[in-house]
Each structure stands twice: as structure tokens, then as C-alpha cells.
């Protein structure tokens, strides 16, 4: 088995203790930092995402694998040369105004990062103006809105409407999700993408990027 495959499997298994030494072994074997990220870490998080979607593993396991990936990234990122890793796309994410739930949103952010997206996380209780300011500043491909409360779901529609009014709606794809959010609701408020879980969010973002790049 190659060093890359061993590192890949350690991320999937959530083997935290081994991450530092396995990452260094990959470097010692001559693999470039970008190659380690693209050929071991990101595919490993793909496997984790699929297992999560199939209910083979649950939130704690995903978080441990994400932590493994981060441990490895902490070693590799300072060694990356400019342009070595092409970003899959850019995402601005947040839990909408009035809502403080962030576990699901964090999971979506982690999984998107694991899939190679650049993620700008605005946190919780994010109002429409904050999303607009960040869209103007960083020009993302996606605005991702999370809501866990039936009382805050309408804020997703408010944010989409505000993006329209600011003339920014055509520049971004809006993805929505969170336990009470349904596909019907997403369509009603004019979102582009509905994702029921973090794995689906990654798949949908990848597909949308592939279309954008055609
Ligand atoms: Co809150 N809470 N809570 N809570 N809480 C719920 C959501 C609730 C269903 C509990 C209940 O009554 N059974 C209920 C909502 C009822 C409703 O709206 N109809 C509720 C309530 C009422 C409240 C308060 C109002 C309680 C009170 O104070 N009276 C209050 C509101 C505070 C506020 O936000 N303003 C409140 C507070 C809290 C805590 C702070 C204590 C805590 C949050 C801690 C935190 O997030 N840091 C909390 C928690 C933990 C929950 C429950 C128990 C768990 C939520 C969670 O983290 N799930 C929840 C009940 C439950 O769900 N069993 C509940 C795990 C997480 C991985 O799943 O967030 O669904 P989830 O994310 C999934 C998908 O939904 C999806 O992917 C994720 C991973 O697969 N997803 C996206 C999420 N965002 C996405 C975005 C996407 C795509 C997919 O694209 C952009």
C-alpha cells in the first residue's frame, strides 16, 4: 500500500494519533503537499461524506475525520506553492438571522472544505446585509443558508430577496438546508439548490460547479 493510501484510510478511520507521522511519511516519500491533499485527504473526505449519507457513520465520526484532515492540512498548507491546489469553488455560508444553531451548518462547511471548496463561514445569526457585504467582498460561487427553526426559515427568503435587490442574485447560486427546510420550501423562496444533508450539499455544489465551468 502506498503512503497516500495509508493516509487516506487513516482519515476515513478517524485515526487521529497517526495523522502527523503519516503526513510526514508522505512528504518523506516525495509526494507534493498538493498531491497529498488532492489524492489522499479530499478523496478520504468523499468516502466519509458518502458513508454519512448512507447512515453508515454519524456526526461524531464525521467530526473526527474532519479533525484528522485538519491536522494533516496544518502541516501541508504552509508548504503549498501558489496554485498547487485548484479550489473546487468559493462558498459563503451562515446560519440565518435569529437562529443560533450551528452544528449542521458547521458540518456542511467542513464537508465542503474537505471537498476542496474555499469556505467563508459567517457564523450564526447572520442577517441579509452581512451576506450581501460578504458576497460583494469575496465574490463567491455559492451562498449557503442554514436554518433549524421554523421561525427563522423565512429569513432565507428575505436574504434571497435582498440579494436580488442588491443586484447580486445572478452572480451566486443559493443553497439552502437545515432540518425543517424542504425542497418545496426551497423552490418557493427561489433558492437554486436544496440539500437535505452535508453529503448532499457537497454533491450538489460539485455538480453546480461542473455546470458553471462547462
Ligand atoms: Co434547538 N431546536 N433551540 N438548540 N435544537 C431544535 C432545532 C428543535 C427541533 C428541538 C425540538 O423542539 N424538538 C426546536 C425547533 C422547533 C421548530 O422550529 N419547529 C428547537 C428550539 C425550539 C430551540 C430554541 C427556540 C429553544 C428555546 O430556547 N426555547 C432555541 C433557539 C435558539 C436560537 O437559535 N435562537 C434553541 C437552542 C438550542 C441550543 C443552543 C441549546 C442548541 C444549539 C447548539 C448549537 O447549534 N451550537 C440546540 C440544539 C442542539 C437542538 C437540537 C437538539 C439538535 C440540532 C442539531 O445540531 N442537530 C434540535 C433537535 C433535533 O434536531 N433533534 C433542536 C444535528 C445536526 C447535524 O443536524 O442541524 O439538522 P442539522 O443539520 C443537518 C441537516 O439539516 C443539513 O445538514 C446537516 C448535516 O447533515 N443542513 C444543511 C443543515 N444546514 C444545512 C445547510 C445546507 C444544506 C444542508 O445548505 C446550505
Taking only the tens of pLDDT, the chain with its 214 residues reads 899 999 999 999 999 999 999 999 999 999 988 889 889 998 898 899 889 889 999 999 999 998 999 899 889 878 876 566 667 899 999 999 999 999 889 889 988 888 889 999 999 999 999 999 999 999 999 999 999 999 999 999 999 999 999 999 999 999 999 999 999 999 999 999 999 988 899 899 999 999 988 8
Angle at Cα 194 formed by Cα 193 and Cα 198, nearest 5°? 110
Could you write out the DSSP letters of every residue in 170-214? GG-EEEEE-TT--HHHHHHTT-SEE-SSHHHHHHHHHHHHHHHT-
Contact 96, 180 (CB under 8 A): no
Nearest to 62 by CA among 118, 101, 12: 12
What separation in Å is there between the alpha carbon of 101 and the centre of ligand 1? Answer: 5
Write down the pLDDT at residue 125.
98
Write down the pLDDT at residue 83.
60
The residues lining ligand 1, judged by C-beta closer than 6 Å to any ligand atom, are 59, 98-105, 107-108, 144-146, 148-151, 175-180, 195, 197-198, 201
Q: How far apart are CA 43 and CA 6, in angstroms?
A: 12
Write down the pLDDT at residue 74.
87
Could you write out the DSSP letters of every residue in 122-186? --SSB-HHHHHHHHHHH--SEEEEE---TTTTHHHHHHHHHHHHTT-GGG-EEEEE-TT--HHHH
Distances (CA, A) of 7 to 23, 71, 101: 7, 12, 33
Q: What is the pTM of this model?
A: 0.87
**For a substitution probing ligand 1, which of 121, 179, 194 has the most ligand atoms within 8 Å of its CB?**
179
Write down the pLDDT at residue 213.
84
Which residue puts its alpha carbon closest to atom 69 of ligand 1? 104
Amino acid at each position: 500500500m502506498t503512503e497516500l493510501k495509508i493516509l487516506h484510510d487513516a482519515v476515513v478511520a478517524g485515526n487521529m494519533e497517526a495523522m502527523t507521522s503519516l503526513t510526514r511519511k508522505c512528504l518523506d516519500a516525495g509526494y507534493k503537499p498538493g498531491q497529498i491533499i488532492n489524492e489522499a485527504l479530499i478523496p478520504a473526505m468523499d468516502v466519509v461524506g458518502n458513508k454519512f449519507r448512507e447512515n453508515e457513520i454519524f456526526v461524531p465520526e464525521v467530526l473526527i475525520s474532519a479533525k484528522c484532515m485538519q491536522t494533516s492540512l496544518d502541516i501541508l498548507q504552509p508548504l503549498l506553492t501558489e496554485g498547487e491546489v485548484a479550489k473546487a469553488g468559493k462558498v459563503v455560508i451562515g446560519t440565518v438571522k435569529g437562529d443560533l444553531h450551528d452544528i449542521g451548518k458547521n458540518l456542511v462547511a467542513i464537508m465542503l472544505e474537505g471537498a476542496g471548496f474555499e469556505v467563508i463561514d459567517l457564523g450564526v445569526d447572520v442577517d441579509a446585509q452581512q451576506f450581501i457585504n460578504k458576497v460583494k467582498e469575496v465574490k463567491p460561487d455559492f451562498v449557503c443558508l442554514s436554518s433549524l427553526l421554523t421561525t427563522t426559515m423565512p429569513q432565507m427568503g428575505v436574504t434571497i430577496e435582498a440579494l436580488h435587490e442588491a443586484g447580486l442574485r445572478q452572480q451566486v447560486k443559493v443553497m439552502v438546508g437545515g432540518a425543517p427546510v424542504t425542497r418545496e420550501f426551497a423552490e418557493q423562496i427561489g433558492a437554486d439548490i436544496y440539500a437535505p444533508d452535508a453529503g448532499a450539499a457537497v454533491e450538489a455544489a460539485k455538480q453546480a460547479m461542473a455546470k458553471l465551468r462547462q
